[in-house]
Protein backbone atom coordinates (compact mmCIF):
# COMPACT_ATOMS: atom_id res chain seq x y z
CA UNK A 1 0.00 0.00 0.00
CA UNK A 2 1.26 3.50 -0.88
CA UNK A 3 1.98 5.59 2.22
CA UNK A 4 -0.73 8.17 1.67
CA UNK A 5 0.80 10.33 4.41
CA UNK A 6 3.49 11.22 1.86
CA UNK A 7 1.09 12.06 -0.99
CA UNK A 8 -0.46 15.54 -1.29
CA UNK A 9 -4.15 16.04 -2.06
CA UNK A 10 -4.86 16.57 -5.79
CA UNK A 11 -7.28 19.38 -4.99
CA UNK A 12 -6.14 21.39 -1.97
CA UNK A 13 -2.51 20.23 -1.64
CA UNK A 14 -2.92 19.02 1.97
CA UNK A 15 -0.34 16.39 2.89
CA UNK A 16 -1.46 13.65 5.23
CA UNK A 17 -4.14 11.71 3.35
CA UNK A 18 -5.84 8.83 5.17
CA UNK A 19 -6.00 5.33 3.65
CA UNK A 20 -9.47 3.94 2.90
CA UNK A 21 -8.93 0.81 0.76
CA UNK A 22 -6.09 -0.98 -1.02
CA UNK A 23 -6.85 -3.04 -4.15
CA UNK A 24 -3.21 -4.17 -4.51
CA UNK A 25 -1.34 -3.87 -7.82
CA UNK A 26 -3.45 -4.15 -10.95
CA UNK A 27 -2.91 -3.70 -14.71
CA UNK A 28 -4.41 -0.63 -16.40
CA UNK A 29 -8.13 -1.37 -16.68
CA UNK A 30 -8.55 -0.32 -20.32
CA UNK A 31 -5.21 -1.69 -21.57
CA UNK A 32 -6.71 -4.50 -23.68
CA UNK A 33 -4.15 -6.92 -25.11
CA UNK A 34 -3.50 -8.47 -28.51
CA UNK A 35 -2.82 -12.21 -28.87
CA UNK A 36 0.95 -11.45 -29.02
CA UNK A 37 0.88 -9.33 -25.86
CA UNK A 38 -0.71 -11.94 -23.59
CA UNK A 39 2.53 -13.94 -23.58
CA UNK A 40 4.56 -10.96 -22.32
CA UNK A 41 4.74 -9.50 -18.80
CA UNK A 42 2.13 -6.81 -18.11
CA UNK A 43 2.76 -3.53 -16.32
CA UNK A 44 0.83 -3.15 -13.07
CA UNK A 45 0.47 -0.25 -10.65
CA UNK A 46 -0.66 0.16 -7.02
CA UNK A 47 -4.37 0.96 -6.63
CA UNK A 48 -4.94 2.59 -3.22
CA UNK A 49 -7.85 4.82 -2.22
CA UNK A 50 -7.32 7.66 0.27
CA UNK A 51 -9.32 10.50 1.86
CA UNK A 52 -8.29 14.15 2.34
CA UNK A 53 -9.42 15.36 5.79
CA UNK A 54 -8.90 18.96 4.71
CA UNK A 55 -11.15 19.26 1.58
CA UNK A 56 -12.93 15.83 1.76
CA UNK A 57 -11.75 14.65 -1.70
CA UNK A 58 -11.49 10.86 -2.03
CA UNK A 59 -8.69 9.95 -4.46
CA UNK A 60 -6.24 7.29 -5.56
CA UNK A 61 -2.60 7.91 -4.68
CA UNK A 62 -0.94 6.77 -7.94
CA UNK A 63 -0.91 8.93 -11.08
CA UNK A 64 -0.25 7.09 -14.34
CA UNK A 65 0.75 9.33 -17.28
CA UNK A 66 -2.34 10.51 -19.21
CA UNK A 67 -0.40 9.89 -22.45
CA UNK A 68 -0.31 6.20 -21.52
CA UNK A 69 -4.01 6.11 -20.52
CA UNK A 70 -5.80 8.23 -23.08
CA UNK A 71 -3.93 8.70 -26.37
CA UNK A 72 -5.45 5.52 -27.84
CA UNK A 73 -8.72 4.71 -26.12
CA UNK A 74 -11.25 1.97 -26.80
CA UNK A 75 -14.36 3.30 -25.02
CA UNK A 76 -16.91 4.81 -27.40
CA UNK A 77 -19.88 6.47 -25.71
CA UNK A 78 -22.11 5.92 -28.75
CA UNK A 79 -22.19 2.14 -28.22
CA UNK A 80 -24.55 2.79 -25.30
CA UNK A 81 -28.16 3.74 -26.11
CA UNK A 82 -28.49 4.93 -22.49
CA UNK A 83 -25.61 7.42 -22.96
CA UNK A 84 -27.12 8.76 -26.20
CA UNK A 85 -30.55 9.29 -24.63
CA UNK A 86 -28.92 10.97 -21.62
CA UNK A 87 -26.93 13.32 -23.91
CA UNK A 88 -29.91 14.24 -26.08
CA UNK A 89 -32.05 15.12 -23.03
CA UNK A 90 -29.57 17.59 -21.50
CA UNK A 91 -28.84 19.20 -24.90
CA UNK A 92 -32.54 19.72 -25.70
CA UNK A 93 -33.04 21.25 -22.26
CA UNK A 94 -30.08 23.67 -22.47
CA UNK A 95 -30.85 24.80 -26.03
CA UNK A 96 -34.33 25.71 -24.83
CA UNK A 97 -33.49 27.19 -21.40
CA UNK A 98 -30.52 29.27 -22.60
CA UNK A 99 -31.95 30.18 -26.01
CA UNK A 100 -28.90 28.78 -27.83
CA UNK A 101 -28.56 29.35 -31.57
CA UNK A 102 -26.10 30.04 -34.38
CA UNK A 103 -24.44 32.96 -32.51
CA UNK A 104 -23.37 30.75 -29.58
CA UNK A 105 -20.61 28.17 -29.00
CA UNK A 106 -20.75 24.92 -27.04
CA UNK A 107 -17.49 23.17 -26.13
CA UNK A 108 -17.23 19.66 -24.69
CA UNK A 109 -14.07 18.58 -22.87
CA UNK A 110 -13.28 14.88 -23.45
CA UNK A 111 -15.92 14.88 -26.19
CA UNK A 112 -15.30 11.22 -27.11
CA UNK A 113 -16.86 10.29 -30.47
CA UNK A 114 -19.17 13.33 -30.67
CA UNK A 115 -22.02 11.43 -28.95
CA UNK A 116 -23.25 14.65 -27.21
CA UNK A 117 -22.20 17.49 -29.51
CA UNK A 118 -24.01 15.87 -32.46
CA UNK A 119 -27.32 16.94 -30.85
CA UNK A 120 -26.25 20.61 -30.62
CA UNK A 121 -25.10 20.40 -34.23
CA UNK A 122 -28.54 19.10 -35.21
CA UNK A 123 -30.04 22.16 -33.44
CA UNK A 124 -27.71 24.42 -35.56
CA UNK A 125 -25.59 25.47 -32.54
CA UNK A 126 -21.84 25.76 -33.35
CA UNK A 127 -19.73 23.19 -31.44
CA UNK A 128 -16.14 22.28 -30.65
CA UNK A 129 -14.93 19.03 -29.12
CA UNK A 130 -11.66 18.57 -27.22
CA UNK A 131 -10.61 14.90 -27.20
CA UNK A 132 -7.05 13.62 -26.62
CA UNK A 133 -7.57 10.10 -28.02
CA UNK A 134 -6.49 10.29 -31.65
CA UNK A 135 -8.55 7.29 -32.81
CA UNK A 136 -11.75 8.66 -31.21
CA UNK A 137 -11.28 12.29 -32.28
CA UNK A 138 -11.04 10.96 -35.85
CA UNK A 139 -14.40 9.14 -35.52
CA UNK A 140 -16.06 12.33 -34.18
CA UNK A 141 -14.82 14.37 -37.15
CA UNK A 142 -15.27 11.82 -39.93
CA UNK A 143 -18.50 10.09 -38.90
CA UNK A 144 -20.36 12.88 -37.09
CA UNK A 145 -18.84 16.01 -38.58
CA UNK A 146 -18.03 17.34 -35.09
CA UNK A 147 -14.97 19.67 -35.21
CA UNK A 148 -12.56 18.23 -32.64
CA UNK A 149 -9.20 19.36 -31.27
CA UNK A 150 -7.09 16.30 -30.52
CA UNK A 151 -5.52 17.65 -27.31
CA UNK A 152 -5.62 17.41 -23.53
CA UNK A 153 -7.60 20.30 -22.04
CA UNK A 154 -5.95 22.63 -19.54
CA UNK A 155 -5.19 26.27 -18.88
CA UNK A 156 -2.90 26.69 -21.92
CA UNK A 157 -5.50 25.45 -24.39
CA UNK A 158 -8.19 27.60 -22.71
CA UNK A 159 -5.97 30.69 -23.06
CA UNK A 160 -5.37 29.91 -26.73
CA UNK A 161 -9.10 29.48 -27.50
CA UNK A 162 -9.99 32.65 -25.58
CA UNK A 163 -7.30 34.58 -27.51
CA UNK A 164 -8.81 33.29 -30.78
CA UNK A 165 -12.20 34.64 -29.68
CA UNK A 166 -13.59 31.14 -29.17
CA UNK A 167 -15.11 31.49 -25.70
CA UNK A 168 -17.97 29.18 -24.82
CA UNK A 169 -21.55 29.86 -23.77
CA UNK A 170 -21.76 26.29 -22.47
CA UNK A 171 -18.90 23.98 -21.50
CA UNK A 172 -19.72 20.31 -20.94
CA UNK A 173 -17.37 18.00 -19.02
CA UNK A 174 -18.95 14.56 -18.52
CA UNK A 175 -16.99 11.96 -16.59
CA UNK A 176 -13.69 13.68 -17.25
CA UNK A 177 -12.96 15.64 -14.05
CA UNK A 178 -12.31 12.35 -12.24
CA UNK A 179 -9.60 11.57 -14.86
CA UNK A 180 -7.67 14.82 -14.43
CA UNK A 181 -4.40 14.95 -12.47
CA UNK A 182 -4.20 18.78 -12.38
CA UNK A 183 -7.68 19.59 -11.06
CA UNK A 184 -6.84 23.21 -10.32
CA UNK A 185 -5.44 23.91 -13.80
CA UNK A 186 -8.46 22.23 -15.40
CA UNK A 187 -11.00 24.29 -13.42
CA UNK A 188 -9.04 27.52 -14.02
CA UNK A 189 -9.13 26.59 -17.71
CA UNK A 190 -12.93 26.18 -17.63
CA UNK A 191 -13.22 29.65 -16.07
CA UNK A 192 -10.99 31.12 -18.79
CA UNK A 193 -12.91 29.39 -21.60
CA UNK A 194 -16.38 30.51 -20.43
CA UNK A 195 -18.09 33.71 -21.53
CA UNK A 196 -18.85 36.00 -18.57
CA UNK A 197 -22.43 34.67 -18.31
CA UNK A 198 -21.60 31.17 -19.57
CA UNK A 199 -22.30 27.94 -17.69
CA UNK A 200 -20.22 24.79 -17.17
CA UNK A 201 -22.19 21.55 -16.88
CA UNK A 202 -20.11 18.89 -15.19
CA UNK A 203 -20.96 15.27 -14.42
CA UNK A 204 -18.97 13.15 -11.98
CA UNK A 205 -19.63 9.80 -10.29
CA UNK A 206 -20.95 10.52 -6.77
CA UNK A 207 -18.73 9.18 -3.99
CA UNK A 208 -21.72 8.58 -1.68
CA UNK A 209 -23.29 6.13 -4.14
CA UNK A 210 -19.94 4.41 -4.62
CA UNK A 211 -19.63 3.76 -0.89
CA UNK A 212 -23.31 2.96 -0.20
CA UNK A 213 -23.70 0.61 -3.16
CA UNK A 214 -20.25 -0.98 -2.80
CA UNK A 215 -19.28 0.17 -6.32
CA UNK A 216 -15.56 -0.47 -5.69
CA UNK A 217 -15.14 -1.49 -9.35
CA UNK A 218 -15.37 2.17 -10.38
CA UNK A 219 -11.88 2.49 -8.82
CA UNK A 220 -9.17 2.19 -11.46
CA UNK A 221 -6.11 4.15 -12.53
CA UNK A 222 -8.03 6.44 -14.91
CA UNK A 223 -10.33 7.54 -12.07
CA UNK A 224 -8.07 9.66 -9.91
CA UNK A 225 -10.81 11.44 -7.90
CA UNK A 226 -14.19 10.48 -6.37
CA UNK A 227 -16.27 13.58 -5.67
CA UNK A 228 -18.82 14.80 -3.18
CA UNK A 229 -20.55 18.15 -3.73
CA UNK A 230 -18.55 19.47 -0.75
CA UNK A 231 -15.24 18.62 -2.49
CA UNK A 232 -16.43 20.16 -5.80
CA UNK A 233 -17.67 23.32 -4.10
CA UNK A 234 -14.24 23.96 -2.51
CA UNK A 235 -12.43 23.27 -5.79
CA UNK A 236 -14.56 25.64 -7.89
CA UNK A 237 -14.70 28.40 -5.29
CA UNK A 238 -10.89 28.38 -5.13
CA UNK A 239 -10.91 29.55 -8.78
CA UNK A 240 -13.58 32.23 -8.66
CA UNK A 241 -16.44 29.97 -9.72
CA UNK A 242 -19.64 29.04 -7.95
CA UNK A 243 -21.81 25.95 -8.22
CA UNK A 244 -25.30 27.41 -8.60
CA UNK A 245 -27.25 24.19 -9.10
CA UNK A 246 -26.91 20.42 -8.69
CA UNK A 247 -28.86 17.33 -9.73
CA UNK A 248 -28.46 13.71 -8.75
CA UNK A 249 -28.93 11.43 -11.73
CA UNK A 250 -28.93 7.62 -11.85
CA UNK A 251 -26.54 7.07 -14.81
CA UNK A 252 -23.26 5.16 -14.15
CA UNK A 253 -24.47 3.93 -10.77
CA UNK A 254 -25.11 7.43 -9.37
CA UNK A 255 -23.84 10.73 -10.76
CA UNK A 256 -23.75 14.37 -9.66
CA UNK A 257 -24.47 16.93 -12.38
CA UNK A 258 -23.37 20.41 -11.30
CA UNK A 259 -23.87 23.76 -13.02
CA UNK A 260 -21.06 26.26 -12.34
CA UNK A 261 -20.61 29.90 -13.30
CA UNK A 262 -17.94 32.58 -12.91
CA UNK A 263 -18.41 34.45 -9.68
CA UNK A 264 -15.52 36.80 -8.96
CA UNK A 265 -17.93 39.32 -7.38
CA UNK A 266 -19.81 36.78 -5.26
CA UNK A 267 -23.18 37.50 -6.93
CA UNK A 268 -24.16 34.02 -8.12
CA UNK A 269 -26.97 32.60 -6.00
CA UNK A 270 -26.92 28.93 -5.04
CA UNK A 271 -30.14 26.96 -5.52
CA UNK A 272 -31.98 25.31 -2.64
CA UNK A 273 -30.80 21.97 -4.11
CA UNK A 274 -27.13 22.93 -3.56
CA UNK A 275 -27.71 24.14 0.00
CA UNK A 276 -29.74 21.09 0.89
CA UNK A 277 -27.23 18.56 -0.55
CA UNK A 278 -24.30 20.28 1.20
CA UNK A 279 -26.22 20.04 4.49
CA UNK A 280 -27.10 16.40 3.83
CA UNK A 281 -23.42 15.60 3.17
CA UNK A 282 -22.34 17.20 6.45
CA UNK A 283 -24.95 15.05 8.17
CA UNK A 284 -23.72 11.72 6.74
CA UNK A 285 -20.11 12.58 7.52
CA UNK A 286 -18.58 13.74 4.24
CA UNK A 287 -15.63 15.21 6.17
CA UNK A 288 -15.01 12.24 8.49
CA UNK A 289 -12.76 9.35 7.52
CA UNK A 290 -14.95 6.93 9.52
CA UNK A 291 -17.70 7.16 6.88
CA UNK A 292 -15.32 5.75 4.25
CA UNK A 293 -13.48 3.18 6.31
CA UNK A 294 -16.18 0.47 6.43
CA UNK A 295 -15.98 0.28 2.63
CA UNK A 296 -13.18 -2.33 2.58
CA UNK A 297 -15.20 -4.73 4.76
CA UNK A 298 -18.21 -4.40 2.43
CA UNK A 299 -16.02 -5.16 -0.60
CA UNK A 300 -14.62 -8.29 1.09
CA UNK A 301 -18.17 -9.48 1.82
CA UNK A 302 -19.10 -9.05 -1.85
CA UNK A 303 -16.00 -10.98 -2.91
CA UNK A 304 -16.91 -13.90 -0.64
CA UNK A 305 -20.49 -14.01 -1.98
CA UNK A 306 -19.49 -13.92 -5.65
CA UNK A 307 -16.69 -16.49 -5.31
CA UNK A 308 -19.06 -18.79 -3.42
CA UNK A 309 -21.73 -18.57 -6.14
CA UNK A 310 -19.26 -19.06 -9.02
CA UNK A 311 -17.62 -21.98 -7.19
CA UNK A 312 -20.99 -23.70 -6.74
CA UNK A 313 -21.94 -23.20 -10.41
CA UNK A 314 -18.61 -24.60 -11.63
CA UNK A 315 -19.01 -27.59 -9.32
CA UNK A 316 -22.34 -28.29 -11.06
CA UNK A 317 -20.53 -28.20 -14.42
CA UNK A 318 -22.07 -24.89 -15.53
CA UNK A 319 -20.40 -22.73 -18.19
CA UNK A 320 -19.98 -19.03 -17.44
CA UNK A 321 -19.16 -16.20 -19.84
CA UNK A 322 -18.78 -12.49 -19.08
CA UNK A 323 -20.80 -9.61 -20.53
CA UNK A 324 -18.84 -6.35 -20.74
CA UNK A 325 -15.10 -5.80 -21.37
CA UNK A 326 -15.31 -2.70 -19.19
CA UNK A 327 -12.75 -1.00 -16.97
CA UNK A 328 -14.95 -1.70 -13.94
CA UNK A 329 -14.99 -5.38 -14.94
CA UNK A 330 -11.21 -5.38 -15.04
CA UNK A 331 -10.98 -4.05 -11.47
CA UNK A 332 -13.47 -6.63 -10.21
CA UNK A 333 -11.88 -9.67 -11.89
CA UNK A 334 -8.31 -8.71 -11.01
CA UNK A 335 -9.01 -7.81 -7.37
CA UNK A 336 -11.27 -10.83 -6.79
CA UNK A 337 -8.80 -13.13 -8.58
CA UNK A 338 -11.36 -14.56 -11.03
CA UNK A 339 -9.99 -15.67 -14.42
CA UNK A 340 -9.84 -18.45 -16.98
CA UNK A 341 -10.30 -21.20 -14.39
CA UNK A 342 -13.90 -19.97 -13.96
CA UNK A 343 -14.82 -17.89 -17.01
CA UNK A 344 -14.77 -18.93 -20.69
CA UNK A 345 -14.68 -15.60 -22.54
CA UNK A 346 -16.10 -12.05 -22.63
CA UNK A 347 -18.63 -10.51 -25.02
CA UNK A 348 -18.94 -6.78 -25.67
CA UNK A 349 -21.01 -4.72 -28.08
CA UNK A 350 -18.12 -2.35 -28.82
CA UNK A 351 -16.50 -3.41 -32.11
CA UNK A 352 -13.29 -1.59 -31.06
CA UNK A 353 -12.78 -4.13 -28.23
CA UNK A 354 -13.62 -7.36 -30.07
CA UNK A 355 -10.61 -9.51 -30.95
CA UNK A 356 -8.58 -8.28 -27.95
CA UNK A 357 -7.97 -9.93 -24.54
CA UNK A 358 -8.78 -8.56 -21.07
CA UNK A 359 -5.96 -7.08 -18.95
CA UNK A 360 -4.59 -9.38 -16.23
CA UNK A 361 -7.14 -12.15 -16.84
CA UNK A 362 -6.45 -12.67 -20.60
CA UNK A 363 -10.01 -13.63 -21.57
CA UNK A 364 -10.79 -13.34 -25.31
CA UNK A 365 -13.41 -10.71 -26.29
CA UNK A 366 -16.14 -11.53 -28.84
CA UNK A 367 -19.32 -9.87 -30.06
CA UNK A 368 -22.57 -10.51 -28.08
CA UNK A 369 -23.82 -12.82 -30.88
CA UNK A 370 -21.52 -15.49 -29.42
CA UNK A 371 -23.93 -15.91 -26.48
CA UNK A 372 -26.61 -17.21 -28.85
CA UNK A 373 -24.20 -19.39 -30.84
CA UNK A 374 -22.61 -20.93 -27.76
CA UNK A 375 -25.37 -20.65 -25.10
CA UNK A 376 -23.28 -20.62 -21.91
CA UNK A 377 -25.45 -21.24 -18.81
CA UNK A 378 -24.62 -17.88 -17.21
CA UNK A 379 -23.31 -14.45 -18.14
CA UNK A 380 -21.50 -12.50 -15.43
CA UNK A 381 -22.73 -8.95 -16.14
CA UNK A 382 -19.80 -6.65 -15.38
CA UNK A 383 -21.32 -3.57 -17.08
CA UNK A 384 -24.06 -3.62 -14.41
CA UNK A 385 -24.50 0.16 -14.85
CA UNK A 386 -26.26 -0.63 -18.16
CA UNK A 387 -28.03 -3.77 -16.87
CA UNK A 388 -31.52 -2.81 -18.03
CA UNK A 389 -30.38 -2.00 -21.57
CA UNK A 390 -28.31 -5.21 -21.83
CA UNK A 391 -31.01 -7.48 -20.38
CA UNK A 392 -33.40 -6.09 -23.03
CA UNK A 393 -30.87 -6.63 -25.82
CA UNK A 394 -30.28 -10.21 -24.60
CA UNK A 395 -33.96 -11.20 -24.42
CA UNK A 396 -33.43 -14.10 -26.87
CA UNK A 397 -30.45 -15.54 -24.95
CA UNK A 398 -32.55 -15.37 -21.77
CA UNK A 399 -35.55 -16.95 -23.52
CA UNK A 400 -33.30 -19.89 -24.40
CA UNK A 401 -32.42 -20.41 -20.75
CA UNK A 402 -29.39 -18.11 -20.34
CA UNK A 403 -29.19 -16.29 -17.01
CA UNK A 404 -27.23 -13.28 -15.84
CA UNK A 405 -25.29 -12.79 -12.60
CA UNK A 406 -25.27 -9.12 -11.51
CA UNK A 407 -22.48 -8.60 -8.95
CA UNK A 408 -23.21 -5.07 -7.63
CA UNK A 409 -24.55 -3.68 -5.28
CA UNK A 410 -25.12 -7.28 -4.13
CA UNK A 411 -24.79 -10.57 -5.97
CA UNK A 412 -28.04 -11.65 -7.65
CA UNK A 413 -29.08 -13.92 -10.51
CA UNK A 414 -31.69 -12.83 -13.08
Contact 84, 91 (CB under 8 A): no
pLDDT score recorded for residue 76:
66
pLDDT score recorded for residue 73:
55
pLDDT surpassing 70 at residue 378 = yes
Rounded CA separation 225/171 (Å): 20
> Could you tell me the pLDDT band of residue 35, with boundaries at 50, 70 and 90?
very high
Contact 169, 98 (CB under 8 A): yes
pLDDT score recorded for residue 266:
84
Mean pLDDT over 28-52 rounds to 94
Phi, psi of 347 (to 5 degrees): -115, 150
Provide the mean pLDDT of the chain: 93
Residue 24: half-sphere exposure toward Cβ, Cα within 13 Å = 10
pLDDT score recorded for residue 121:
96
Phi, psi of 69 (to 5 degrees): -85, -40
Mean pLDDT over 50-69 rounds to 92
pLDDT score recorded for residue 211:
94
pLDDT score recorded for residue 267:
87
Per-residue pLDDT of 276-286, as tens digits, reads 999 999 999 99
Taking the CA atoms of 237, 240, 245 and 247 in sequence, report the sign of the dihedral they define.
Answer: negative
> Could you tell me the pLDDT band of residue 265, with boundaries at 50, 70 and 90?
confident
Per-residue pLDDT of 129-153, as tens digits, reads 999 988 889 999 999 999 999 999 9
Mean pLDDT over 266-272 rounds to 92
pLDDT surpassing 90 at residue 402 = yes
pLDDT score recorded for residue 394:
96
Comparing 266 with 316, the larger pLDDT belongs to 316
401, with CB counted inside 10 A (0-12, 13-18, 19+), is exposed
Per-residue pLDDT of 216-254, as tens digits, reads 999 999 899 999 999 999 999 999 999 999 999 987 678
Per-residue pLDDT of 74-124, as tens digits, reads 556 666 777 888 899 999 999 999 999 999 999 999 999 999 999 999 999
pLDDT score recorded for residue 348:
95
Amino acid sequence: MTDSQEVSCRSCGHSGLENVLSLGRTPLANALLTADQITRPEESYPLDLAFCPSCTLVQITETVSPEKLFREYLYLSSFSDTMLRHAEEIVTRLVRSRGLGSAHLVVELASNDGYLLQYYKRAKVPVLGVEPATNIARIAEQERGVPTLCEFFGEDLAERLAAEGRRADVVHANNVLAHVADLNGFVRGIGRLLQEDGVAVIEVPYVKEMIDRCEFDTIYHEHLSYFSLTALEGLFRRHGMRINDVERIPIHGGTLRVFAMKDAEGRVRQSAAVESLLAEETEWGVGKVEFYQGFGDKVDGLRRDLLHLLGELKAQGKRIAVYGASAKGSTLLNYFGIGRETLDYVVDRSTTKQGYYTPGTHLPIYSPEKLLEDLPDYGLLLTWNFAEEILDQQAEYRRRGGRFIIPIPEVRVV
